[in-house]
Chain A
Amino acid sequence: MSHPLLQFFSQVPLFAPLSADELTELLRAIQPTQIHAGELLFQEGDAGDAAYVVQSGELEVFLERRDSHIHLVDLGPNTVLGEIALLDGQPRTAHVRAKSEVSLFRIDRTEFDFLRRNLHPAAYKLIRQIATTVCERVRNSNELIHQVVNERDDIIRGKQPVSAQETTVEVSQVKGKSMLRKWAFWRSK
């Protein structure tokens, strides 16, 4: 554990099961990189050519839809992003921007694939860790789909949804024209 990178990676949960030797093998795929506050790490639709581990600083994951900015989540030190793209190389599903000076480690998919194709234990220990998070996500999304479908059916059947946040509506009349003034979650066109 002499190499400073090894010390850092051993603290990141995704890399915890890897031995020092295995981490050393993995280092061939890892490059340190930095971005400045306000810079984009990647955009929605970009090629999923790498995963990243945040060493310091903070990033925002967000979407842009029409004219609205949709905040999804903030990521800080020791978090991993884009690890599923490391497995399947699919395009990015959101934008990621630095909120401060950010230091990251970039895990290159091509280099990682080399280890994977050669059935290297380091690659497979990491894959197994990623698989655990994917399992949790699959279970969570199953649950969420179930919940949303039930809500939808309750609404259609005329029942009040149990967990849906209720929207508020105020109707007012301005110069004889109808107008919806306040409509949380919905907007008028």
Chain B
Amino acid sequence: MSIPHQLIGSLELFQGLTESELTLLGHHLKVEEKVHGAALFSEGDLARSCFCLVDGEVSVYLEKDTGEAKIATLKPGASIGHMALIDRKRRSATCRVSSPKAVIAELAHDTFDQLFSAQTSLAFKVMDNLVMDLVGHLRENNARLVTANQERNQAKINRKLGNVRAEMKEQRIDTGKIEIDALEADSVEVCMPTLDQRMRERRDK
């Protein structure tokens, strides 16, 4: 099916494209209507393309010990699995249509690769949108990691404190004045260099 250029240009990944770039893109996008429950991809699949939600709703699910858990719901305009345009790894989650119907545009990795190799302004602009989205995602993750670390440290402290208090009580020591503060080194304030080191270690193996 085909959709108006204006609608393609309103998708997050395709912001800032000119009319002629949208026309070129239109030739390479596969647009389909999918019904409720249809999977875009499943966790573990090899990532071959990126999806954009034109209309409807898509939900993201993760496989957990307790079964499948919904971790996010996406609104029209959103890009789904767009890291596939950069590298081709396995999908880290499952995505399915969660509204009665949804319209989805698909851009294949190979197609994007060709457009990039041909040095089209279209591919460069899409790359720009893509990388800025990823950088924002990374900075958000860093902030989330700091919070998660602080919460974990606080939980550890509370538990330790509970143990110490119990032990002290047994030994009849006054427990009135203990206050403990997480050393901030452990909150991984800036995790990126640590992550980089991990990556290097992994690569060197």
Q: Give me the interface of A with B, judged by CB distance under 8 Å.
A: 61, 63, 65-66, 68, 70, 72-73, 84, 87-88, 90, 93-94, 116, 119, 121, 124, 127-128, 130-132, 134-142, 144-145, 148-149, 151-152, 155-156, 164, 167, 169, 171, 173, 176-178, 180, 183, 185-189
Contact = CB atoms under 8 A, between A and B. Distances in A.
Given A84-B135, A142-B141, 4 more contacts: A63-B185, A90-B139, A124-B123, A131-B127
Interface residues of B, number: 64
Interface in B45-82: none
B-side interface mostly: helix
Interface of B: 83, 86-87, 89, 92, 116, 119, 121, 123-125, 127-128, 130-132, 134-139, 141-142, 144-145, 148-149, 151-152, 155-157, 159-160, 163-164, 167-168, 171, 173-175, 177-186, 189-199
Contacts of B87: 132, 135-136
A142 B92 CA distance: 10
A87 B138 contact: no
A176 to B, nearest CB: 8
B193 A94 contact: yes
B160 A144 contact: no
Contact of B185 (A70, A93, A155): A70
A73 B193 contact: yes
Contacts of A70: 184-185, 189
B174 A178 contact: yes
B127 A186 contact: no
Given A70-B185, A87-B132, A171-B171, A186 B160 contact: yes
Given A141-B141, A145-B145, A72 B190 contact: yes
Nearest to A160: B159
A140 B160 contact: no
B142 A141 contact: yes
B138 A137 contact: yes
20 contacts: A84-B138, A88-B139, A124-B123, A134-B134, A134-B135, A137-B195, A142-B92, A145-B144, A149-B148, A152-B155, A155-B152, A155-B159, A167-B156, A171-B173, A178-B177, A180-B180, A187-B183, A188-B178, A189-B179, A189-B180
A130 B151 CA distance: 31
B141 A145 contact: yes
A128 B141 CA distance: 21
